[in-house]
Structure 1
Amino acid sequence: MGAGAYAHDLWLTDLRREPPSTVGTAVLWAALATGVLSTVLLDEGVGVNLFLVALPATLTAYFAARRAGRVQARPWTLAWGIGGLALLLVPVLRAAQWPSFLAVATAIGLASLALHDSRSWAGVVLSPFGLVDSLFKGAAWGWRGVRARAGKASDNVGSVLRALAVTAVLLLVFGALFAGADAAFADLLSRLVPDTSVGDGPWHLLLFALGLLGALAAAHTAAAPLQWDRYKPSPGSARGRGEWALPLLLLCVLFAVFNVIQLTVLFGGYEAVLDKTGQTYSEYARQGFWQLLIATLLTLLVIVLALRWAPRGGPGDRNLVRGVLGTLCALTLIVVASAVRRMDMYVEAYGLTRLRISVVTVELWLGLVILLIMVAGIRGARRLPRAVAASAAVGALAFGLASPDGLIAENNVRRYEKTHKFDLDYARGLSADAVPALDRLEEPMRSCVLGPLAEELGPATASWYEISWGEVRARRILEERPPVTTGPGTCVGSGENGENSEYHR
């Protein structure tokens, strides 16, 4: 255990830059602001508060990088930073937690890329671990800076504390007087100022520590990042042309035969599905989508391994590799189109769900990755790692901004208008983002769906920074047209094909 940890530390030491210089005053103040905003704003809900906390944390990293001499106007670094902040707008706009979680996780990944300025596959994949490595180092680094400045500024501590005490007294006294004089001002003050109590002290202290430590970790990483690009994995042993190409060429033939059948069946219409398979649209779609998704993932793995063991004898070998892998990628794109088409048929039969919209989004992104690999085969692979990371970030941002719950509700409402079938139980589990689409339903269906959603939302008691625009819009709709009380048995549905509990008109 000890020997392994020692070897691990030696390996990271080879990747580290020089230790950061003394912590700058601006870094400490920005980190303190991050901690204060964390304890004040990050309480129960998620909205614009995450974005506001991220701003001083970004400044902490910027000040640390500038003091270490690392600030350069590099387009990719700016793109990662701006993209990470843009992803934090998803919780501001959308009430659903699952796309917001994806956006926040992706924002952390982009922040790690911006701090490390990584270009290689190792850097793109391992950059987040650099933040973890700096978590405790950043805290110790910041503490040393505070102690150094405390000795120099001991004479000013008393004056600063007196100024803060006078400010607090003035704000409390006059704020209480104005709140007692005007109810509207009191209501505004209650929304702007967090409601805290003695019992919440440990929780707010934890939030302060997380914000402060997170900002210092980002600053330490910005000043002395792990240089993941130095890590060069050993290349695989080059194979002969015949040994390397034969399995891949046969795989391409298999793909080609499968794709010919897919094009015949999938684009031949409903009658072609019945004639060639003896199945319905929904049965045919459900049978194959997951297999095709796995096939796409395995194809990417095959491409990675093929590149590792590809022959490297000269221009002839390079042309062979490009030709074979390019053909495999092109055939895989048809498999991706087939999988997406199958999911479209499945949704047409059973409606849209969170799982279905998520997996089809992943399949589309995998198709984009394959396209990027094909472009890299022509123009060079130097930018491929960052291009793949950027495509994932853009996909997460687009997925969140598109409001998946809203799209699910919109699709299922249109399906109800055509088939008069609707999954009540599933619709009740959607977030407030689905309310505008569900509001178009006729009664009593509308109240059957929106009644539980309205109860879950409850009154607007959260502060302005803890709620999303989707929640605000949903409350406005429900206040203008509140759901009516339905009688017993009105909202009971029946199942369809044993899959959904549906309301039938």
Structure 2
Amino acid sequence: MPSHGDRLRRTEPDHRAAPTPRVLLAALATGLLTAWLLYDGVGANLLICGAATAVGAGVVARGAGRRIRPWTVVWSLLALALLAVPALRDAGPAALLAVAGALGLASLALHGGRRWAGVLLALPAAVWQPVPGVAWAWSGLRGRGLPGRARIVPVLKALAVAAVLLTVFGLLFASADVGMADLLSDLSPSVDFGQLPLRTLLFLVGAVTALGFAHTAAGPRRWDRMTAAPGRERRRLEWALPLVGLDLLFGAFAVIQAVVVLGGADAVLRDTGMSRSEYARQGFWQLSAITALTLVVVAVAKRWAPRTTPGDRRVARVLLGLLCLLALVVVASALGRMWFYVDASGLTRLRLWVLVVESWLGVVFLLLITAGLTRRADWLPRVVVLSGMLTVAVYGLMGPDSIVAEQNVDRFERSQQIDLRNVRELSADAVPALDRLPEPQRTCALQLIRTDLAGHSPGWYATSRSAEQARGILAARPLSDGDSDGATACAWAGLRVGPNP
């Protein structure tokens, strides 16, 4: 059996293009762009820096003779869509998730991959590519002569001499004449040395990231060559008996859910002492855990499934397909219970996120069932990743904080009930919906958001469209309470504000 090192060496590229001076110049330009744009915050600047990195990697890939494939275009466009989330929405967690997804998709676009190993190992590969990228650039440029050296070096020398002369004589003129001092002060750039450490760090991050992606584009690892020994087949009875028991357990749960849905819940609820709504709201988190664990069970069972004869393979498809089908009942039940829970207590970021993840797991089970019904399932790894990343993109672009605020405000307009703790710490995405609240609820809900927006007003490239819209709304309708944290308004609204509300 080959060792782990042998399997890793098997993924080495057959050929990697050598770096050129243009690669280094493009990385330096990306670093300067990053240091300039990202200092004040994130917004459209992430998309700009990401596009610059993508252009540099694309030039290297073209020079290496690589062809653009359809899946490369899909991953690249989806990565750019994810980078657009911070430019449009202000929700921090969703933006962070989108940026992480964009990095993973960019790496997958450059590495390629069809099998599970190729796809899953390519996604995080961007994390460890920068260091090899720097070494690759240094080794390639160390012995290379600089093109046009005879023309460039004299120009650099002349610029250095001119800078020294202008600095010395400029300081002397400025000290000799006040008018000259004012003129030179207006002409000379202002340098804030307090910004230098962070801008230097941003420059290094941008340049090294660009070199890492260029290194990958020049010759990516072929993670599809990373093979794992198939699991030892179990005898049919040894393998099938646990799955049959699990299928029966899932089937019993499905029958109980059908009884409740069809209205015959009295017999089920008589011994519990719960109402129908209480029964519907309990158990969501456990059902979510069951959904995730079922995927693990399916993966492990598929690895050890008997596959010697057509009958073995048929039994494996039936039992695993039935488990996936019954898991969809668990997904539907979990989503229904969370719906009742949200209707009773309001929506929060965590509840929305778990709803989204549970819905995506349902899609994964549908894909697994479809793969079991088809002769070829080599499309499954890429489509599963595609569905996950599309979910992240839609989740970010719709604005989770906006959805949370809309649901809570709609609930208030129907029932005059709102838990302000669910909305007070949302981002600027929530302002249009929370602005519909009456006083004092409006001031209590918006005070912390207004404080965050007032404390930071960056340029257009370092803010989101939602933040600018929120500033306009708050400027047109100022809050009525001057407290820094809205404690007075929250007290009037019946909410105690403190470290443990």
With normalisation by structure 1, the TM-score equals 0.86
Partner deviation per Cα, 1:394-428 (whole Å, 9 max, x = no partner): 00001001111011011011111222222223321
How far apart, in 2, do the equivalents of 1:196 and 1:19 lie?
45
Selected match of 1:220 from 212, 215, 222: 215
Q: Counterpart of 1:113?
A: 108
Q: Secondary structure at the match of 1:38?
A: helix
Q: Secondary structure at the match of 1:441?
A: coil
Partner deviation per Cα, 1:127-179 (whole Å, 9 max, x = no partner): 145334432221122224444454443213236548989999xxxxxxxxxxx
Task: Rate the CA distance shift 1:356–1:133 in 2: closer, same or farther, 3 A.
Answer: closer
Alignment of 1:329 with 2:324, yes or no, is yes
**Displacement after TM superposition at 1:315 (Å):** 2.5
Q: Counterpart of 1:55?
A: 51
Q: What is the letter of the counterpart of residue 240 of structure 2?
A: A
Selected match of 2:425 from 402, 417, 429: 429
Q: Counterpart of 1:230?
A: 225
On the 8 A contact 1:12/1:226 being kept in 2, the answer is no
Q: Secondary structure at the match of 1:69?
A: coil
**Alignment of structure 1 residues 327-476 onto 2, 5 Å:** 327-379=322-374, 380-458=376-454, 461-476=457-472
Alignment of 1:142 with 2:137, yes or no, is yes
Q: Secondary structure at the match of 2:42?
A: coil
Task: Rate the CA distance shift 1:339–1:150 in 2: closer, same or farther, 3 A.
Answer: same
Task: Rate the CA distance shift 1:159–1:275 in 2: closer, same or farther, 3 A.
Answer: farther
Q: What is the letter of the counterpart of residue 157 of structure 1?
A: I
Q: Counterpart of 2:117?
A: 122
Selected match of 1:477 from 464, 473, 476: 473
Q: Counterpart of 1:290?
A: 285
How far apart, in 2, do the equivalents of 1:167 and 1:249 lie?
84
Partner deviation per Cα, 1:305-339 (whole Å, 9 max, x = no partner): 11111111232222222211111111110110000
Q: What is the letter of the counterpart of residue 429 of structure 1?
A: E
Alignment of 1:491 with 2:487, yes or no, is no
On the 8 A contact 2:46/2:83 being kept in 1, the answer is yes
Task: Out of 87-96 and 21-30, give the one that drifted further.
Answer: 21-30
**Alignment of structure 1 residues 17-56 onto 2, 5 Å:** 17-56=13-52
Task: Rate the CA distance shift 1:84–1:165 in 2: closer, same or farther, 3 A.
Answer: farther
- The percent identity for this pair of structures is 47
Task: Out of 376-385 and 386-395, give the one that drifted further.
Answer: 376-385
Partner deviation per Cα, 1:339-368 (whole Å, 9 max, x = no partner): 000000110110000110011111111111
**Alignment of structure 1 residues 236-315 onto 2, 5 Å:** 236-266=231-261, 268=263, 275=270, 277-280=272-275, 283-315=278-310
Alignment of 1:76 with 2:75, yes or no, is no
Gaps of 5+ in 2: 164-181
Q: Counterpart of 1:320?
A: 315
Q: What is the letter of the counterpart of residue 398 of structure 2?
A: A
How far apart, in 2, do the equivalents of 1:138 and 1:33 lie?
16
On the 8 A contact 1:444/1:486 being kept in 2, the answer is no
Task: Rate the CA distance shift 1:220–1:291 in 2: closer, same or farther, 3 A.
Answer: same
On the 8 A contact 1:447/1:486 being kept in 2, the answer is no
Task: Rate the CA distance shift 1:164–1:417 in 2: closer, same or farther, 3 A.
Answer: farther
On the 8 A contact 1:451/1:484 being kept in 2, the answer is no
**Displacement after TM superposition at 1:270 (Å):** 9.4
Partner deviation per Cα, 1:415-445 (whole Å, 9 max, x = no partner): 1122222222332111000000001111222
On the 8 A contact 2:420/2:495 being kept in 1, the answer is no
Task: Out of 364-373 and 22-31, give the one that drifted further.
Answer: 22-31
How far apart, in 2, do the equivalents of 1:163 and 1:208 lie?
26
How far apart, in 2, do the equivalents of 1:125 and 1:349 lie?
39
Q: Counterpart of 1:100?
A: 95
Q: What is the letter of the counterpart of residue 300 of structure 2?
A: L
Task: Rate the CA distance shift 1:437–1:205 in 2: closer, same or farther, 3 A.
Answer: same
Selected match of 1:12 from 1, 8, 11: 8
Task: Rate the CA distance shift 1:437–1:397 in 2: closer, same or farther, 3 A.
Answer: same
Q: What is the letter of the counterpart of residue 491 of structure 1?
A: C
How far apart, in 1, do the equivalents of 2:234 and 2:456 lie?
66
Q: Counterpart of 1:89?
A: 84
On the 8 A contact 2:236/2:306 being kept in 1, the answer is yes
**Displacement after TM superposition at 1:40 (Å):** 0.6
On the 8 A contact 2:118/2:224 being kept in 1, the answer is yes
How far apart, in 2, do the equivalents of 1:163 and 1:15 lie?
49
How far apart, in 2, do the equivalents of 1:166 and 1:400 lie?
52
With normalisation by structure 2, the TM-score equals 0.86
Q: Aligned-pair RMSD on alpha carbons? A: 3.0
How far apart, in 2, do the equivalents of 1:212 and 1:8 lie?
32
How far apart, in 1, do the equivalents of 2:430 and 2:131 lie?
42
On the 8 A contact 1:265/1:276 being kept in 2, the answer is no
How far apart, in 2, do the equivalents of 1:412 and 1:52 lie?
35
Q: Counterpart of 1:172?
A: none
On the 8 A contact 1:34/1:54 being kept in 2, the answer is no
How far apart, in 1, do the equivalents of 2:407 and 2:209 lie?
41
Partner deviation per Cα, 1:250-302 (whole Å, 9 max, x = no partner): 21111111111112224539989865742246643453111111111111111
On the 8 A contact 1:134/1:221 being kept in 2, the answer is yes
Task: Rate the CA distance shift 1:204–1:273 in 2: closer, same or farther, 3 A.
Answer: farther
On the 8 A contact 2:27/2:207 being kept in 1, the answer is yes
On the 8 A contact 2:232/2:304 being kept in 1, the answer is yes
